[in-house]
Structure 1
Amino acid sequence: MTDRKGPLARFTILDASRVRAGPTAIRTFADLGARVIKLEIPPGAPGGDDMIGGRDHNRADYENLHRNKESLTLNMKTPEGLEILRQLVRQADVFIENWRPDVKHRLGVGPEELRAINPRLVYASISGFGQSGPYARWPGFDSIAQGMGGLMSVTGKPGEGPMRVGIPIADLCSGHFCAQAIMAALLEREVTGEGQWVQTSLLEAQIAMLDFQAAQWLIDRKVPQASGNEHPLTVPTGVFATRDGFINIAAIGQTMWKRLCEALGAPQLVQEPGFGSDPERVENRDRVNAAVGELLRTRGTQEWTERLIEAGVPCGPIYSVDRMFDDPQVRHIGIARPMHHPELGEVEVVGLPMQFSRHPRDAGPLEPAPEQGAQTDAILSSLGWGATDIARLRARHVV
């Protein structure tokens, strides 16, 4: 693998996670220069990964999720596999898994066992519902967490029933929260010299993402309801039809409301009875939206966008994914990163959504996701295993 540099280049991570949440967490480290060794079940060994996101299900997704990693096939259910893992742990900074909570303990690779080998190790776990409790052994899946975490109850149009969000948000957010926890543990280790066990779950990550909707219940004892494309607490904020498409508008508060009315050529709406404050406009939501919507249908999306931005009103067009990537601002920020793939040729993947002044994200090439076990021989050789031993391990599906 190409020698990459970055702010996390000094760290080595063992990635035993599967599907999406764990790999999402570790992709951040890989993009920031850390050495990531992806531990995969060897061909012929029971329990191979046939889940969504695997190589055979969606190659585009797999490449986007597992770039910049190395792959080591390893059967941790065998004595030799466990010995290889212990060798790797002695040199690692982080170990991450997202198995069901009991699996790591049955395998003998829980945080106590691995941190006994390397006390500096940060052990990270992502589960569906937590490491303990009545649902701890339930299998975790994104849409299940969206439902149990309250998100589906506030998504979609009023009266149409629960609606899943169009991205695996519980998976993604649990991965990002886990990455933050790992970063914090690595920083704390610089003071104490010791690692620790960090945990999150799809359920708690999803609940945390409810944010102000959760606060409505916890503080005001108000149960949030679905409000479709509109904001539940401020009007007019949402999607409006134009002459040739749609536009998103966020006229939050009195100042934005006045600017919107003036840009629409209808300053009299500010004085309309029932339109004078956010609470009043929420109470008269349908009337406000009807008045604003009638005016917006007289011009096209681009013209309204230019007018409203000039007036200082937050707004924007609504893109399909292809049009989004073609937007000049999206092209300017460079979030789509080029990558050369030996089979697919020149492709693009979604880059890391953060910038560092000393480590530009486009400074070096991205490495495509590894083929299964592509670095197995090299990694084992670095640990002292000879060619004959490696062949023996491979024949017994240890690697």
Structure 2
Amino acid sequence: MRLLQIGSGSAAEYAGLLASELGFSVDRVPVATEPDGDPVDTRARELFLSRGKRDVNREGLSFADYDAIVEDVGPAALRGLGITWTRLHAQHPGLSLVSVSPFGASGPYANWHATDLTAQAAGGVVHVSGRDGEPPRALPQDVALMIAGLHAATAALSTTYAVAAGTETGVHVDISAQDTLMHHWTRHVADYAYCGMTTRRHGEQTGIEVTGHVAPAADGLVFVHALRQPWQDVAAFLGLGEFLTESLMQPGAEQPWDAMAGAFEDAVAARPRYDWCHDAADLGWTFAPVEDPWAVLSGPQNGARGSTDEASTDEGLRTRLPGVPWRFEDQL
């Protein structure tokens, strides 16, 4: 199976990376983009997303060699490369074209330009990010465009197998980053449908029975959360028995958070975070270590699953990178 990637945006790049890991031979026609951010970050991004690809020139390419094309440059840039879907399909009926853009090829926003933050905002995610009364916060990196790239890789794989099975001819798949991001808040639709409530951001909360705390453990930060558990149970788990007086053990008793806050932090700091997480998991509670990217790559979970790869930088240094986010049975 062969895939041609046209474009160097995060959506096309991630789609090409996933296709490569799934067994496609991926050729890439790079289309220059404006530098964004720190040059070191840009090089790291290129190192991650270019794996398993071969850069090629448009001149001399034969589309008959490919099963699918993924692009995120738009129809005008494609026409500049001599590509239109009508001509492509007439000449190569088994070839599929997957187009990824911020808002898709139809609708009043079709010609709008967008960054990943624009797609996040238009997709409804920024609406509920951050705290109430403060500016919304973007999710880190290119979350919206990479989710769209995941859908693009899925579309390229599906259409390739459908054509190979003889059930379909090639198709043009139009993917909108706004559309793909909307799927990630659909659970809130029921709140509106049944209760008339829209999702809103929360203000700063305190206490161990609310959304959760990030607190310093002995070796780093840990997210302390026991969903729907009485605060008394969490306090007992943390060793805060001195606050569990007879009156405070009564149903509905409010936790004396102002008095407990210091003892809570001292208790969490007394043990390593993975010890807390292990014991909380036995109770079905959602504690979690708060890791930076490097800690994630070197952590015990990813080490056990073998979900990191190594690559060489231009300077000859070896560095760890995230591997593909799935495992097949013979890898377990």
| TM exceeding 0.5 | yes
Deviates more, 1:344-353 or 1:307-316: 307-316
Q: What does residue range 21-40 of structure 1 map to in structure 2 within 5 Å?
A: 21-40=11-30
The equivalent of 1:296 in structure 2 is: 264
Residues 1:91 and 2:65 aligned together: yes
Q: 1:53 to 1:201 in 2, by over 3 A?
A: farther
The equivalent of 1:169 in structure 2 is: 143
> What is the distance in 2 between the residues matched to 1:215 and 1:288?
34
The equivalent of 1:67 in structure 2 is: 51
Deviations 1:309-328 (A, max 9, x none): 34442212212223333322
The equivalent of 2:281 in structure 1 is: 309
The one-letter code of the counterpart of 2:320 is E
How far 1:226 moved relative to its partner? 1.8
TM-score by length of 2: 0.82
Instruction: Name the SS of the counterpart of 2:138 in structure 1.
Output: coil
Deviations 1:165-219 (A, max 9, x none): 1222111111112222222223332241412111211211222222323443455
Residues 1:273 and 2:241 aligned together: no
Deviations 1:352-390 (A, max 9, x none): 1111234x49xxxxxxxxxxxxxxxxxxxxxxxxxxxxx
The equivalent of 2:88 in structure 1 is: 114
The equivalent of 2:122 in structure 1 is: 148
Q: Which runs of 5+ in 2 are unaligned?
A: none
Q: 1:329 to 1:289 in 2, by over 3 A?
A: farther
Q: 1:21 to 1:305 in 2, by over 3 A?
A: same
Aligned residues: 319
CA RMSD between the two structures:
3.3
Q: What does residue range 184-223 of structure 1 map to in structure 2 within 5 Å?
A: 184-189=158-163, 190-217=165-192, 220-223=195-198
The equivalent of 1:325 in structure 2 is: 297
Q: Which runs of 5+ in 1 are unaligned?
A: 1-10, 42-47, 75-80, 276-286, 362-399
How far 1:123 moved relative to its partner? 0.9
Deviates more, 1:22-31 or 1:111-120: 111-120
Q: Could you tell me the percent identity over the aligned residues?
A: 23
The one-letter code of the counterpart of 1:144 is T
> What is the distance in 1 between the residues matched to 2:16 and 2:22?
10
The one-letter code of the counterpart of 1:198 is V
Larger RCO of the pair (alpha carbons < 8 Å, separation 6+): 1
Say which of 325, 334, 356 aligns to 2:306.
334
Instruction: Name the SS of the counterpart of 1:119 in structure 2.
Output: coil
The one-letter code of the counterpart of 2:210 is P
The equivalent of 1:348 in structure 2 is: 320
Q: Is the 8 A contact 1:102 1:137 kept in 2?
A: no
